[in-house]
Structure 1
Amino acid sequence: MELPLVVGVDGSEPSLRAVDWAADEAALRGVALRLVYASLWERYEGAALARDLGKPSEEVRAQDIVEAAARRARGRRPELAVTTESLPEEPEYALVKEGHNAAALVLGTRGRSGVADLLLGSVSLFVAAHADCPVIVLRGNNDNQARAGVHGRIVVGVGDAPSAAVRFAVQEAERRGVPLEAVRAWRCPAHETVDHPLIAGEPERVYEERAAEALEGALREVPPQAKVQRRTVEGPARKVLLAASHEADLLVVGTRRRPGHLGFQLGRVAHTVLHHSACPVAVVPERA
């Protein structure tokens, strides 16, 4: 049985935009859509206290939120199988657990102080750093409307070897029928000089060639029929991928997961693009 696509909802406009995007994605994949709302209100307060305080019960509010999200998803994609769930848990922990049985998690941005689409909320950041399935965060589109891809391109940041991020990006590009742009950033270390015997005379060319070789090695398992455009770019990976995000419908990056490690597991590149990308970002966990 195919795993569902899971969306974290909270009634905000960013989360509803995530519902729109996820509905389209679920239709492309041919899988069900699961809408999850999580809050600790019921656990600590309860409906009885809510009545005493003259406030609406969180249970009612939660049901309203998931039902509104379900109506939006079905209105956009009537053919979808849609299920809902409200959980009395911290949203970040609830969503990480949901990821154990999800094809991917889809989240909206949730910033503060009126800059919701400039800063990434703590829930999205935590889930991207800890989930064991791909996490897609909806960046871009300041009007909170999910739109069909306009650039016709998926971009993936490529490391030294075949990876889950590359495989994920290939599949996403194939589903949409668009090319995949595989980008490898490279730099000439400042401490190396042209006196080095291996790089004398043409240091930059040597590093660029090494980057191209690494790129080919990372793509060696990509099916030959896949439409992949290869590009090596000089500069820090974070800046290179942010620039590429302006001409992409989805930016895919990998992040390493260390079994048994409970700390923050999100590399600098993934952290930066999650905060500043011009398009949606998919963070794909890589097992160490």
Structure 2
Amino acid sequence: MTIPLVVGIDGSAASLEAVDWATDEAARHELPLHLVHAAAPHHEAIDLINAASDRARTGAPKVRLSSEVLYEDAASALVDKGRNAFALVLGSRGLGDLAGMLLGSVSLAVAARADCPVIVVRGGAQYRDARFGSVVVGVEDGEGSGTALEFAFREAHVRHCRLVAVHAWSAPFGGPPEPSPRSGYALEAHLQPPTQVLDDALRGPAERYRDIPVSRRVVEASARQVLLEAASDADLLVVGARRRHGHLGLQLGLINHAALHHAPCPIAVVPQR
């Protein structure tokens, strides 16, 4: 049985934009689409999900479609659904969010706790309609970006577009760190050229997706700034998230928080496996 792409809806304009985006995404990946409305009991719930289902069916008649209403906390319900999902798709703002919020509280909570990729649909129509032909992925030191890279390459593959891999770096203040008494790892990690960090990370997935044109960007600057600038002409921004040791959920960090709040395009937060 193919796991579905799950989209959370609450009747807001942002959630309906998420339905449209998720419908196209399900068609690209040939996935079933499952619509979920989770809220306190009210008589409009069935009408709301039926209207969203009609919208999805009109957008992609061949996509297998299902839906359900869950009368429980929205974030918890969506996180639970994400345990058996290709990804969770959410709008950037909900009905109950304050006017000044940059990102809805439910979307942020789900992005921080879900086991599967969480895609927050941001940006204007030009970013939601895949007009730029580009997927941007952030690459960090070490192995933390492996799952995000696989996701990004797969997205570029089904979209028939290019991949832009971005690695931002900065030299530590005061020069390279001292090696630990047991090994010289810290010094070696600092001395590894940033271009080598990116090349090493890309080598495996690039071999598996030879059809994808890849652009490499290595920039000495703030990662938040570099990623947001790269996303200004992208259809999707992909970032990785590490597991928190000894705690449930993910370590989103300052970079991911900035991307979730300010990305000009849809953003996928991909948990590290």
TM over 0.5: yes
Report whether the alignment pairs 1:135 with 2:121.
Answer: no
Structure 1 runs (4+) greater than 4 angstroms displaced = none
Relative distance call for 1:269 and 1:35 in structure 2 (3 A) is same
Alignment of 1:114 onto 2:99: yes
Identical columns (%):
51
| Equivalent position SS for 2:35 | strand
Shift of 1:188: 1.9
TM-score, normalised relative to structure 1: 0.83
1:38–1:89 CA contact under 8 A, matched in 2:
yes
Q: TM-score, normalised by structure 2?
A: 0.87
Q: Does 1:269 align with 2:255?
A: yes
- The worse-fitting range, judged by mean Cα deviation, of 22-31 and 213-222 is 213-222
> Cα 1:259–1:34, aligned 2, differ >3 Å: closer, same or farther?
farther
Tell whether 2:67 aligns with 1:81.
no
2: CA distance between counterparts of 1:218 and 1:105? 26
Q: List gaps (5 residues or longer) in structure 1.
A: 43-57, 194-206
Alignment of 1:249 with 2:232, yes or no, is: no
Q: C-alpha distance in 1, partners of 2:123/2:100? A: 12
Report deviation, 1:262.
Answer: 3.0
User: For 1:219, what is the secondary structure of its paired residue?
Assistant: helix
Preserved contact between residue 208 and residue 232 of structure 1 (Cα < 8 Å): no
Q: Give, in angstroms, the shift of residue 208 of structure 1.
A: 9.7
Q: CA RMSD in A?
A: 2.1
Contact 2:128 2:265 in 1 (8 A): no
Separation (CA, whole Å) in 2 of partners of 1:275 and 1:146: 16
| Contact 2:168 2:222 (8 Å CA) reproduced | yes
Where does residue 22 of structure 1 map in the other structure? 22
Task: Give yes or no for the alignment of 1:229 onto 2:215.
Answer: yes
Give the aligned residue type for 1:155. V
Q: Which digits, 9 at most, give the CA deviation of each residue in 1:178-201, with x for residues without a partner?
A: 0100000011222228xxxxxxxx
Aligned length: 254
Confirm or deny: 8 A CA contact 2:118 2:269 kept in the other structure: yes
- The question of whether the paired residues in 2 share the 8 Å contact of 1:130 and 1:265 is answered with no
Output the CA distance in 2 between the equivalents of 1:262 and 1:78: 38
Which SS does the other structure have where 2:175 is aligned? coil
| Separation in 1, partners of 2:136, 2:261 | 17
Secondary structure of the residue aligned to 1:129 is helix
Question: How does 1:135-284 map onto structure 2 within 5 Å?
Answer: 135-141=118-124, 147-160=128-141, 161=143, 163-192=146-175, 210-224=193-207, 225=210, 226-258=212-244, 260-262=246-248, 265-284=251-270
Match of 2:182 in 1: none
- Pick closer, same or farther for the CA change 1:29–1:208 going to 2, 3 Å: farther
C-alpha contact 2:136 2:165 (8 A) present in aligned 1 = yes
Taking structure 1 as reference, are residues 222 and 262 closer, same or farther at Cα in structure 2, changes over 3 Å only? closer
| Residues 3 and 101, structure 1, Cα contact 8 Å, conserved in 2 | yes
Name the stretch that deviates more: 95-104 or 253-262: 253-262
Larger radius of gyration between Structure 1 and Structure 2: 1
Q: 1:27 to 1:231 in 2, by over 3 A?
A: same
Work out the CA distance in 2 between the residues paired with 1:245 and 1:182.
11
Q: Secondary structure at the match of 1:140?
A: coil
Deviations 1:32-56 (A, max 9, x none): 10000001x23xxxxxxxxxxxxxx
Q: Is the 8 A contact 2:8 2:35 kept in 1?
A: yes
Q: Secondary structure at the match of 2:172?
A: coil
3-state SS of paired residue (2:164): strand
